[in-house]
Amino acid sequence: MQNTAGTGRAAHWHDTYSRGGDTRVSWFSADPAYSLEMIDAGGADPALPAVDVGAGASRLADALLARGFVDVTVLDVADDGLAHTRARLGADAARLRCVVSDVLDWAPDRRFGLWHDRAVFHFLTEPADRRRYRDLLAAALDPGAVVVVGTFAADGPESCSGLPTARYSAAALAAEFGAGFEVVAQRREEHRTPWDAVQPFTWLALRAR
């Protein structure tokens, strides 16, 4: 059965990139410093497979390759952002596995030692979607894997790019992932959009028990 929600999400993000390109979207960050800080805090092993869900045109893929990660998957519901990443990396793009899929429909063919999600989970406002995400996470992780998640903070925006969002304190976000994960680090980020608006984020680094 076709996932009409996923199809709608792909069209939405295609339109968003068409209007703003890759550097004029609200989540643009030239330096994935918080992502890397959380990855370091979790002690992710560069020899193990890593995935960035909702990767879009994020510069995180560049940084992971530069750090010696040898098996990096970038996943996004629309190819628009991934196309910017491939163009930016040039020949190095061949070192990535690019997957175009709604994360809720994805059936990964391997397990991962690092799972990174900046600003996907907070768009999952329906409990059933969050359960599906957690089920996928459980099936996709190696024992001891590191999970890095960044969402809007409790005082963050109630919507983004025309879609409603959930907002989380560090404790509330940890509760979403439950007892199967140990919190190893948490941070608050005051992300500034390209037009200098502030979007508070909550970041967690988790380790699968």
- Taking only the tens place, the pLDDT of each residue in 113-166 is 999 999 999 999 999 999 999 999 999 999 999 999 999 999 999 999 889 999
Give the chain's domains with CATH numbers. 4-20+30-208 (3.40.50.150)
Contact by Cβ (8 Å): 69, 92: no
Low-confidence ranges of the chain (pLDDT < 70): 1-8, 10, 12-21, 24
What is the C-alpha separation between 59 and 22, in angstroms, rounded? 11
Smallest CA-to-CA distance from 145 within 55, 62, 71, 43 is with 43
What is the C-alpha separation between 209 and 207, in angstroms, rounded? 6
Sheet holding 72-76, edge to edge: 96-100, 72-76, 50-53, 112-118, 141-152, 198-208, 181-192
pLDDT at 18: 62
Residue 142 β-bridge partners: none
pLDDT at 14: 64
pLDDT at 2: 38
Q: What DSSP character marks residue 101?
A: S
What is the C-alpha separation between 144 and 149, in angstroms, rounded? 16
Pairing of strands 50-53, 72-76: parallel
Helix (H) or strand (E) holding 76: strand 72-76
DSSP per residue, 124-189: --SHHHHHHHHHHHHHHEEEEEEEEEEEEBTTS-SEETTEE---B-HHHHHHHHGGGEEEEEEEEE
